[in-house]
Amino acid sequence: MMKLKRMGTVTSLGLILAATGCGAEDEGEDADVESDNGDAEETEEDDADSADDADSEASSNYAEEMDYTITGIDGGAGIMQSAEQAIEDYDNLDDWTLQSSSEAAMITEMEEAIENEEPIVVTGWDPHWKFAAHDLKYLDDPELSFGEPEDIDTLVREGLQDDAPEAYEILDNFEWTADDMAEIMYDIVVEDIDEFEAAQSWIDDNEDVINSWTEGVDEVDGETFEIIHGPWDSDLSAVSMMSIVLEDQGYDVDLNSVEANYMYTAVADDDADAMIQAWLPHTHGAYYEDVEDDVENLGHNMEGEAALGLVVPEYMDIDSIEDLQE
């Protein structure tokens, strides 16, 4: 578009010069100018078509190099359901498959591809440390298979307010940002710092935030409190931080890592006191609907900052899921 617009400017300038006697000397030469400009415009159109063909060929080559595979995480994760939905929603993904693995295995494959500047498509979500460590981008999702950016909610078992009012109040006050979580994640994964040391460092740097959750809350004397969470770095960052906050208040905190669907049933069945990583309304929506009447939702602890989709390295010359070729 920029080239064609620029060509129009040149054409207009040529006509102005001709009209003022600074261009062609006679009508025949004017005709030649117009003919030359017409040839130039055709050349520009041919160049644009060639560029489109080149982009299409590059996308096709990417698909072949990746063996038409999207690299994902464990099959029970909500993002994997969204990725399966994307394969259904986009006709150009008919021949593609979704490869399930652990988050660690996906990251290893992604980093190996980046080191060799090879194409790769992975399932990705924010907050996550990988965006700070690598130049990555989301592919546009015009069909909204992955939904709009969503919230992260805090869910607690029914009766918690009566049984553990101090923990209930802290969790009810709890809210932070994607940058807060990503800071802890980065220290854990990239800097190889113990998760509790990373969480404590963040707490020390954000005492005003912690005080906004705990101010006026009474201390307790060793009551047990269980937080259920998923096996992902985002969850580990959040629960490591919250466990320290609750233990500083006097609780003896147990952390239990399970697959996504079991987080919801554990809270609903009173097998856990709370979970603080409910990605809603899209990612974990199906799990939440099954237990909505049996848990208490304390609202968003992170609002409108949880995003997910298909992610590629910046050096890949594609911008949309639609650019992935059949």
Report the pLDDT averaged over residues 40-67: 58
Q: What is the DSSP string of 160-197?
A: HHHH-HHHHHHHHH----HHHHHHHHHHHHTS---HHH
pLDDT in tens, 298-315: 999 999 999 999 999 999
What is the model's pLDDT at position 61? Answer: 82
Higher local confidence (pLDDT), 196 or 30: 196
- The answer to whether residue 179 scores a pLDDT higher than 80 is yes
What is the model's pLDDT at position 143? Answer: 97
pLDDT in tens, 56-85: 454 558 999 999 999 999 988 889 999 999
- The answer to whether residue 18 scores a pLDDT higher than 80 is no
> Residues 39-43: contacts with CB within 8 Å, 24+ apart?
40/7, 40/10, 41/4, 41/7, 41/11
What is the model's pLDDT at position 132? Answer: 84
In whole numbers, what is the pLDDT of the chain averaged over residues?
85
- The answer to whether residue 24 scores a pLDDT higher than 80 is no
What is the model's pLDDT at position 165? Answer: 98
- The answer to whether residue 8 scores a pLDDT higher than 90 is no
3-class SS of residue 111: helix
pLDDT category, 41, cuts 50, 70, 90? very low
Least confident of 30-44, 107-121, 245-259: 30-44
Q: What's domain 65-147+310-323's superfamily in CATH?
A: Glycine betaine-binding periplasmic protein; domain 2 (3.40.190.100)
Strand bridging mode 122-126 / 295-313: antiparallel
pLDDT in tens, 220-273: 999 999 999 999 889 999 999 999 999 999 999 999 999 988 999 999 999 999
Q: How far from the centroid of its chain's Cα atoms is residue 135's Cα?
A: 13
Task: Find the length of the chain.
Answer: 326
What is the model's pLDDT at position 59? Answer: 52
Q: What is the DSSP string of 239-287?
A: HHHHHHHHHHTT-EEEEEE--HHHHHHHHHTTSSSEEEEEEETTTTHHH
**Amino acid (one-letter) located at 292:** E
Least confident of 42-56, 58-72, 132-146, 311-325: 42-56
CATH architecture of the domain with range 150-304 = Roll (3.10)
What is the model's pLDDT at position 60? Answer: 57
Among 324, 230, 320, smallest CA distance to 279 is for 230
Rounded CA separation 99/85 (Å):
14
